[in-house]
Every structure is written in C-alpha cells, then in structure tokens.
Structure 1
Amino acid sequence: MALLHQIRIKALRPCHTSLLVSSQSSNSTLGNTILPAVLYKSSFRQVTSDSSGMDPNVQKIAKNEKVEFWEKNRNLKRPISPHMTIYSWQYTNTLSITHRATGIMMYGGLFVLAVPYISLPYMFPAYITYLTSYTSGKLLLGTGKFLISLPVVYHSLNGVRHLFWDFGYGLNLENLKTTAYATVGGSVVISLILAFLKF
C-alpha cells in the first residue's frame, strides 16, 4: 500500500509541483484548484520531482525486477530476441504468410507469362490447342489453370477478409477461425471451377 501511495503522489506531481501542502484541511483550495487528499501529509513539505518524475524507490524496484527478469530468461536458456522457432504454428500466421506468398506468385506469374507472350511467334490459343491435342493434354491444361487460379482467388478472398478487419468486423477468435476455413475452402472450390471451365 505504501508503494501504491508513493506512485499516486508521483503521478500527481506534474500538476502540483512546488506547492506547499498541509494535512490540516483536506478541502484546502488554491484559487480554483482543489488539492487531492493523497497529497496531504502530517507536516509541511515542498512537493518536488526529480528529472525522471519517478520516486527513487520505485526506480530501484523497477530496475531490480528488470534484472531478475533477464536473469530468469538466461537461466532458462530462452532466446533473448523472439524469432519464428519459438512460436506455435497456427492457422492465423499460416494464412498471413500465404497471403504474402500468393501476392509474390501473382506478380512473378504475370512476369513469367508476359515474357513468352511478347517473344513467342504465336498467340497463346495456338499453344493451348496444340497442348490439348495430346492424350493427357486436357488434364495438364486443367492443372495449369488451377495452379494459376488458386493464388489469384485466394489472395482476393483473403483480401476481402482483411478489408472487413479494417472496419472492425470478424476480429474475435471464433470468426477468425471460421473465415480462415471459408477462405481456404472457397479458394479451392472456385479455382477448381475455373480450372475446368471452358472459355
């Protein structure tokens, strides 16, 4: 309680520095300012604050707690700086990393498809027709369309999910889990539909 009392006094000091306070009257006023009762003491004293605004005893306690904290972590051989290996893998960080990965894949895929589109002598439909003429050509084409569609669809659906978060919706754990499964499931289903859809 004594420590809490000291902290309260120090917290109120900036508003009442250099005031001479007394315990004779708990309702004493200075102009229009009512002095808080926690500032009253049994004798007159000058209310001052050091450069940090914190009581030396409080500073000492905080310093000791900090030293004890780091000694405890060193004794337990915990890593001082957090890194990926100390965290449990969860669906939230999985979807977050995948969102960034699909963004990179879309950018890289656009570049990869743009180069042959400019450099090859024929347009893409001619090569697609040539590919489907083989026995397993349609399966290869469908697989390729699925692999191209999946990053785009996933990134789009997860982007909508993030947009709802920006407006403050769906941030509780239950909604996070539900929307995570819905995003992954919806991405696979829509990509399969696009893969076998004939344009």
Structure 2
Amino acid sequence: MAALLLRHLGRHCLRAHVNSQLCLRNWSLPMTMSVGHRGTGIALSGGVYLFGLSALLLPGNFESYLMFVKSLCLGPAVIHTAKFVLAFPLMYHAWNGIRHLMWDLGKGLAIPQVQQSGVAVLVLAVLCSVGLAAM
C-alpha cells in the first residue's frame, strides 16, 4: 500500500515542480523490500495488538469465534487464501530479518548479492506461506 502511495507521489512529481528527492522514477528491489519489511512489521505488531484487545473486550472466547467461522461454510479456496494472507507477512518479515542480520555481520553487501538475496527472500516467503497455509 505504501509502495503504491509513493509511486503515485512520484507520478505527481513528474507533473508538478516538487523536490527531486521525493520523485523516484525507478524503484530498486532493495528499496521496495525495505518498505515492505517496515510495512509487514507494522501490520504484524498491529495485528497482535488488535488480537489482544479483542480477547479482552469482545464477549465470548476464541472457540466461539472459531465455530462462527466454521458455520460460514467457506470453501477451501477461500480458507487457504485467507491463511496465506495471514502467513505471508510473518514469513516475509522473518526471512527479510534474517537477511538484515546477515548484512549486520558484513556478508552479502555487494549489489549482485543484495539482488540475489532479495529474490531468495521473496521465493522463500512465498513457499513457506504456501506450506503454512496448507497445514
């Protein structure tokens, strides 16, 4: 979502006279992944807070809400898609965090290695999310 907003800002900058630092024409993979890493971190922490608040404030317990979802008779495609959507931010943030820890050790900082590790993080995140959604 943030990437789309910034891309819209970039298009607006091309038409208007705005500071050139805000106008980015071509987004690199590491830059996009950095925005995604921050976004998934915000989404994960917000999800944990909302889940905790809902456990405190909503009536009933977790089992009653789980039974409600089961009573909706959603198809397996919808359920697996929802599970993938829930698992992907966690997997992306975890694998990208490992990538950042490797950078902190001083490994993989050359531009070709940054590109390769970015693609590897995306592939691993999708595969792990599909695996978790299949459980």
TM over 0.5: yes
Secondary structure (helix, strand or coil) at the match of 2:23 reads: helix
| Displacement after TM superposition at 1:125 (Å) | 2.9
Runs of 4+ in 1 over 3 A off after TM superposition: 79-82, 137-141
Who is 2:64 aligned against? Answer: 126
Who is 2:47 aligned against? Answer: 109
Decide whether the 8 Å contact of 1:131 with 1:141 is kept in 2.
no
The two structures have a TM-score, normalised by structure 2, of: 0.76
Residue in structure 2 matching 1:175, options 105, 113, 117: 113
The two structures have a TM-score, normalised by structure 1, of: 0.53
Secondary structure (helix, strand or coil) at the match of 1:181 reads: helix
Structure with the largest fraction of helix: 2
Deviates more, 1:111-120 or 1:182-191: 111-120
Structure with the largest fraction of strand: 1
User: Relative contact order (C-alpha < 8 Å, sep 6+): which is higher?
Assistant: 2
Q: Distance in 2 between matches of 1:144 and 1:80?
A: 40
The reply on whether 1:99 has 2:37 as its aligned counterpart is yes
Q: Distance in 2 between matches of 1:116 and 1:80?
A: 43
Q: Would the alpha carbon gap of residues 124 and 137 (structure 1) be closer, same or farther in structure 2, given more than 3 Å must change?
A: farther
Give the percent of matched residue pairs that are identical in Structure 1 and Structure 2: 31
| Displacement after TM superposition at 1:98 (Å) | 0.5
After superposition, the C-alpha distances for 1:33-68 in whole angstroms (9 at most, x for unaligned) are xxxxxxxxxxxxxxxxxxxxxxxxxxxxxxxxxxxx
Bigger Cα Rg: 1
Unaligned runs of 5+ in 2: 1-16
